[in-house]
Chains A and B, each alone.
Chain A
Amino acid sequence: MQLDIKEVEELSKTLYIRALKLLPNDIKQGFERLLMEETNATGKTILGTMVENIAVAERTKNLLCQDTGIPIYNITIGRHVEFDGAAMKEAIRRGCERATKEHPLRSSVVHPVTRKNEQTSCGAGIPVIHVDFDEREETVEIEMIPKGSGSENGSFLQMLIPADGVAAVKRFVIDKVIECGGRVCPPTIVGVGVGGTSDLCMHLAKIAATRPLGTTCADPEGAKIEAQLSEAVNQLGIGPQGLGGRATSFRVHVEVAATHITMNPVAVNIQCHSARRANAIITPGGIAFE
């Protein structure tokens, strides 16, 4: 299969807008579960408002949240796909820029020092583009994540040491969830990276934070920590918007990588309740949206 660059540009535009407007089904189902489990009256009211907002956004074809986020594109390329990589990255950037201008969307991206906003949602190194490969025959998957800043500011890395053990990894996560309180727009998905190098650890946390609800860490030890922490964070009483209740998080997600004999890194990256993402799969048969 030859990857059509024009198609990539169009999809990059469409997926940005689609992600901002339609919440994935697993998150909607997550809200239903949290509503059933919530006992705090304020928490229940707030969750109800969030669910109402999802319906209003669909009905009025509006964005779910004002924060158009930092645009992230995850590209996964299968086997026997011919493509021009540099042209593909350019096309993604053009699509992102066109979504911003043509919809229009608020450009939330600025130069880190001058704070100048180019009004394109793009800048040096932005959109973030990750390219990976998998086994699927003649398949390209594009996933778009508009990562909201309220929860992205809830990002932390600690280079623990082996003597600290897994106990310190779990303590770090609980302490960061307490520290963030209502600022990260709970109920959240708490993404946790365990192991790797410092940068890989942080990246694992992002993968974990943006993984669909209902999925489990492939590593059995990671899955164990995931189950323990998911129960634990909802015993803290932080609740929806940090105003009290059970529903602090939909779930804690953990991703692991091997690490160095001297290292024990842990990272946290939080996803707010507006857990937006959209993806499309390109095959010789056409384009399918999730």
Chain B
Amino acid sequence: MTHHVLDMPVNEQQARALHAGDTLTLNQTLFGIRDATLIEMFDRGRTTRFNLKGHAVLHTAPNVRKVDPRPGNSSGYEPLCIGTTTSMRMERFTKPLMQRDGVRLIIGKGGMGPATLEAFKEFGGAYLAVVGGAAALETTWIDTIEEVDMDDLHPESLWKFRIKDFGPLLVTMDSHGQSLHADVNAEAASRRAAVLAGIGST
């Protein structure tokens, strides 16, 4: 169990050095992405002007307020409440996101499935779990919304955040085939019969 502090973006070696059970804190840049953004990118072939290579994406769609664009913050938005959404819906997009756009780290809640674990193994990446529903806290880790792309999908736009000490996050899926989510699910399945017997529902 190691605590890592990473300045984004990272390379393959840094991503493969992460192991399930490690914790980490991120700095610099983080991208926000979710269902509609990914559907647009991979089912409709739309590309982004952002370079996502080596970066982390957060499964999110934020609450924002419109402000006047200024240097260092051309997005015209300031963050109000930024949290994390359930990742599993976006399972089929992890592989293309890593393969086509070079994304290394996925930040989300609830974990992802076998296709994602396989992509992490193949390309070198990891899943970092945020405590879902703790968005007021998560918002304090975000400095500004620097830029936004695909804002016609608002709030499911592609967001570029400037972050400071984003975390602690827990590595729950790594490039070595381990998933803490799968471990817990297997444990729950193994307890099922005894639990059902206890309530007369065998």
Q: Which residues on A are within 8 Å of B, measured CB to CB?
A: 42, 46, 49-50, 52-53, 56-57, 60, 62-68, 104-108, 115, 117, 119, 148-150, 153, 167-168, 170-171, 174-175, 178, 181-185, 228-229, 231-232, 235-239, 241-244, 272-274
Q: In the assembly, what is the distance between CA of A153 and CA of B90, in Å?
A: 14
Residues from chain B with Cβ under 8 Å of A178 in the complex = 185, 188-189, 192
Q: Which of B110, B154, B183, B192 has the most CB of A within 10 A?
A: B110
* B110, B111, B137: the one within 8 Å of A53 (CB): B137
Q: Is the interface of B mostly helix, strand, loop or mixed?
A: mixed
Q: In the assembly, what is the distance between CA of A237 and CA of B191, in Å?
A: 8
Residues from chain A with Cβ under 8 Å of B64 in the complex = 104, 106
**In the complex, the 4 A-B pairs of residues with the closest C-beta atoms, listed nearest first:** A66-B83, A57-B136, A53-B134, A183-B110
Chain B 137-152 interface residues, beta-carbon cutoff 8 Å to A? 137, 139-140
Contact, CB under 8 Å: A236 / B137: no
* A46, A106, A168, A241: the one within 8 Å of B110 (CB): A241
Contact, CB under 8 Å: A243 / B136: no
Contact, CB under 8 Å: B135 / A181: no
From residue A229, how far is it (CB to closest CB) to chain B in Å? 7
Q: In the assembly, what is the distance between CA of A168 and CA of B83, in Å?
A: 37
* A63, A117, A183, A243: the one within 8 Å of B180 (CB): A243
Residues from chain B with Cβ under 8 Å of A64 in the complex = 133, 135-136
Question: Can you give 7 A-B contacts (C-beta < 8 A)?
Answer: A63-B80, A66-B84, A153-B89, A181-B111, A185-B86, A232-B199, A241-B129
Contact, CB under 8 Å: B63 / A185: no
Residues from chain A with Cβ under 8 Å of B189 in the complex = 178
Q: Which of B61, B62, B184, B198 has the most CB of A within 10 A?
A: B184
Contact, CB under 8 Å: B80 / A104: yes
Residues from chain B with Cβ under 8 Å of A185 in the complex = 86, 109-110, 132-133
Q: In the assembly, what is the distance between CA of A119 and CA of B154, in Å?
A: 9
Contact, CB under 8 Å: A235 / B155: no
Residues from chain A with Cβ under 8 Å of B195 in the complex = 174, 232, 235-236
Interface size range of chain B in the complex:
35 or more
Residues from chain A with Cβ under 8 Å of B133 in the complex = 50, 53, 64-65, 148, 185, 272-274
From residue A277, how far is it (CB to closest CB) to chain B in Å? 15
Contact, CB under 8 Å: B132 / A174: no
Residues from chain A with Cβ under 8 Å of B139 in the complex = 60, 62
Q: Does B115 lie at the interface of the complex (its beta carbon under 8 Å from any beta carbon of A)?
A: no
Q: In the assembly, what is the distance between CA of A62 and CA of B64, in Å?
A: 12
Q: In the assembly, what is the distance between CA of A27 and CA of B80, in Å?
A: 24
Contact, CB under 8 Å: B184 / A182: yes
Sample of 15 more A-B contacts, CB < 8 Å, known A66-B85, A175-B192, A242-B111: A50-B134, A53-B137, A56-B137, A63-B80, A63-B81, A65-B135, A67-B83, A68-B63, A104-B80, A108-B61, A181-B184, A228-B199, A238-B188, A272-B133, A274-B133
Q: In the assembly, what is the distance between CA of A31 and CA of B181, in Å?
A: 23
Q: Does B117 lie at the interface of the complex (its beta carbon under 8 Å from any beta carbon of A)?
A: no
Q: Does B10 lie at the interface of the complex (its beta carbon under 8 Å from any beta carbon of A)?
A: no
Contact, CB under 8 Å: B62 / A66: yes
Residues from chain A with Cβ under 8 Å of B43 in the complex = none
Contact, CB under 8 Å: A243 / B199: no
Contact, CB under 8 Å: B184 / A238: yes
Contact, CB under 8 Å: B63 / A241: no
Q: Which of B36, B65, B134, B180 has the most CB of A within 10 A?
A: B134
Contact, CB under 8 Å: A237 / B200: no
Closest to A154 in B: B86
Q: Does B201 lie at the interface of the complex (its beta carbon under 8 Å from any beta carbon of A)?
A: yes
Given A50-B134, A56-B137, A237-B187, do A104 and B63 touch, yes or no (CB 8 Å)? yes
Given A66-B135, A171-B196, do A106 and B188 touch, yes or no (CB 8 Å)? no
Contact, CB under 8 Å: A235 / B134: no
